Amino acid sequence: MSFVEYSEIIQEGDVVIIFLGHESMMPIKVQSGAQTQTRYGVIRHSSDLIGQRFGSKVTCSKGGWVYVLHPTPELWTVNLPHRTQILYTTDIANITLMLELKPGSVVCESGTGSGSLSHSILRTIAPTGHLHTVEFHAQRAEKAMQEFKEHKVSHLVTVRNQDVCKDGFGITAIADAVFLDIPSPWEAITHAKSAMKRKGGRLCSFSPCIEQVQRTCEALLDHGFEEICTLEVLLRVHDVRTVSLPLPDFGPEEGSADIPNTGNTSVICRTATPPREMAGHTGYLTFATKPRD
């Protein structure tokens, strides 16, 4: 099992996603002799998981069943243990696209946080790229390194526990892209520029407040960055469902007998309805291009 390579068979030590429903999933580490309790009963790792195919339907001890899924960055984002506020797939998709990431890309990231974006970056740049991620908090950095090892992607990532605003990313002139998710991104622009390749590259800064965006854009301009733009991504999911709509009674047609309508005529159809509530602002994404030296 690896987050960047697909496996067919579940083995001891793998991380799997237990799917109980669209709104109920959980990650577990498969260990011989271990058990996992669910509302449908116990899952015994040795007999129910090890040796089974990913995607299998597993019957629990109470007779209920679950699906056992191969982990992906998308599934990890909605199931990971939160150590910080995280980025979700709507923003992650735009970041990956706008930073022009591809297999072989070298990427700098700060801060690592809970690793939601990190896993998506690693899948995109595998098998020959590398992620240099910086986390200020020592315990979060240590936990991130542990997760990368368990997910079998540690060969693609270097985790540094340091202050990016003071100490930078630990590399010079090799990064294709830089991502900043820190309280004062304008203080890290100098280090971001020095980490990027001399032929240029792309930078993205995520900030929840527009005042942070303003100061970051000023710093980007001062350091010669070009094509600076800021966007906000909002997601609106429509619910497709079957509804019964009444047909209006316009009275008898001209020339027909005057027969009153005694029934309530209706038609069944499928329609899409917007949500009553929707997730609003997450943060502002500021993108910029470093010119060639």
Binding positions for S-adenosyl-L-methionine: 114-117, 135, 181
Q: Where are the beta strands (DSSP E) in 212-257?
A: 226-231, 239-246
What's the rounded Cα separation, in Å, for the pair 48 and 37?
13
Number of Cβ within 10 Å of residue 119's Cβ equals: 27
| Nearest by Cα to 152 from 175, 119, 179, 124 | 119
> Binding-site residues, please?
114-117, 135, 181
Cβ neighbourhood burial of 80 (10 Å; 0-12, 13-18, 19+): middle
According to DSSP H, which parts of the chain are helical? Answer: 73-77, 89-98, 116-125, 138-150, 164-167, 189-195, 210-222
